[in-house]
């Protein structure tokens, strides 16, 4: 049973009749729009998110049986009310989804799917429960159980406003990313004092929209998701390359008109950018019980990746994840170059590849000081004139 926006109770048969689906053979990915998502993949629907929780438990059980696969699962917090965190935490605890903390981390997505009458209220609804759960976990025990397993905070920013009115994408991106970054600074300071993992900002950038979203994320966020539009901005590619800013990039297209061979990921990887493979909506777009292995196996065949390439992509995946890095990369993983590569942990990534990447990076970094000094001399000469 599903409750639509008018409050009417609808059965699954009535929902499919409204969508003009008479046979389950007629179902396809393009039809999986808002109504089926709200019926099956929401935590606050009429059945209390039970169906979604059962699917997640099955996925988590598969991860628990696997030794080398973990997942960062994405849940949404909209900021519409002050009790969203409590409801989400109660849903996770009620269905036993916090029992798999060794294999799962939760990534909180903040979709901007509605217009705001008061931006401060939006921020309070998002971050006040996090501050309260961090300061006094015993008083807000339910919320703190979920918050302790959240390493990422993701922002999704659409480009349209109320009634289809176009809003300033630049202003919306800058405002949201800036305020979230400034709010996370004191929050993460509190979490570090209490031995909790800091929450990292990872906005969705570069999948669609203006290219300058990537520049905003470079200045304000720790890393990004997608980044496909970097192929159109070589300067931004270079900016993301120099600090080795990591980001996940999917191989499988989410639309029928996309072509996997048109993905820029192999080009990014060949240039030395810190990219890796990831899944996107695996419950909708993948065909096997191991969607990540599906991504790697197909990518290896389509792009002719070598074993060394696969090991490097897997290492990049661990670097940008919210799981303990020492366990998977070794205690010296923070050292640059070969010193930080322990082949006993990094799935036999050769030292030759690591040294090659590090030497190229040092060469590029050595080119910058003369250019900066030259610009300073030019600016000083112009000022004297």
Provide the annotated active-site residues: 226
3-state secondary structure of 318: helix
Interior CA angle at 139 toward 137 and 110, to 5°? 60
CB 191 within 8 A of CB 134: yes
What tokens does 382 get?
């112009």
Rounded distance, CA 31 to CA 301, Å? 29
Query: 249 exposed, middle or buried (CB, 10 Å; 0-12, 13-18, 19+)?
Result: buried
What tokens does 269 get?
């990887």
Residue found under tokens 């304000």: 220
Phi-psi region of 157 (alpha: psi -120 to 50; beta: other; left: phi over 0): beta
What's the per-residue H, E or C state across 49-110?
A: CHHHHHHHHHHHHHHHHCCCCCEEEEEECCCCCCCHHHHHHHHHHHCCCCCCCCCEEEEEEE
CB 295 within 8 A of CB 279: yes
Rounded distance, CA 325 to CA 318, Å? 7
* Element of type H or E holding 249: strand 247-250
* Element of type H or E holding 361: helix 351-366
């Amino acid at each position: 049973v599903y409750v639509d926006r008018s409050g009417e109770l609808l059965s699954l048969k009535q929902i499919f009749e409204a969508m003009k689906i008479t046979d389950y053979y007629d179902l396809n990915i393009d039809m999986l729009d808002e109504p089926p998502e709200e019926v099956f993949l929401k935590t606050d629907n009429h059945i209390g998110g039970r169906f979604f929780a059962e699917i997640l438990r099955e996925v988590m059980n598969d991860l628990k049986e696997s030794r080398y696969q973990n997942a960062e699962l994405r849940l949404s917090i909209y900021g519409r009310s002050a009790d969203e965190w409590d409801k989400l935490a109660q849903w996770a605890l009620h269905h036993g989804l916090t029992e798999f903390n060794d294999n799962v981390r939760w990534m909180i997505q903040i979709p901007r799917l509605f217009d705001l009458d008061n931006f401060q209220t939006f921020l309070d609804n998002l971050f006040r429960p996090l501050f309260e759960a961090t300061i006094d976990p015993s008083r807000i025990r339910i919320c703190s159980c979920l918050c302790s397993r959240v390493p990422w905070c993701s922002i999704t920013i659409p480009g349209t406003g109320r009634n289809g009115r176009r809003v300033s994408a630049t202003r919306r991106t800058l405002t949201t990313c800036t305020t979230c970054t400034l709010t996370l600074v004191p929050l993460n300071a509190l979490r570090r004092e209490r031995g909790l993992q800091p929450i990292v900002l990872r906005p969705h950038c570069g999948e669609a929209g203006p290219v300058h979203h990537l520049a905003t994320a470079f200045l304000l966020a720790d890393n990004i998701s997608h980044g496909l539009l970097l192929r159109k901005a070589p300067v931004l590619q270079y900016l993301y390359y120099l600090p080795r800013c990591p980001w996940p990039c999917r191989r499988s297209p989410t639309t029928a008109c996309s072509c996997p061979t048109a993905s820029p990921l192999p080009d990014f990887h060949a240039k030395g950018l810190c990219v890796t493979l990831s899944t996107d909506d695996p419950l909708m777009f993948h065909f096997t019980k191991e969607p990540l292995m599906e991504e790697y196996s197909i990518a290896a065949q389509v792009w002719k990746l070598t074993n060394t390439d696969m090991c490097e992509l897997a290492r990049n995946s661990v670097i940008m994840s919210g799981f303990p890095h020492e366990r998977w990369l070794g205690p010296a993983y923070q050292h640059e170059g070969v010193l930080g590569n322990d082949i006993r942990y990094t799935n036999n990534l050769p030292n030759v590849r690591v040294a090659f990447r590090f030497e190229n990076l040092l060469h590029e970094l050595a080119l910058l000081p003369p250019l900066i000094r030259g610009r300073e001399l030019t600016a000083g000469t112009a000022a004297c004139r």
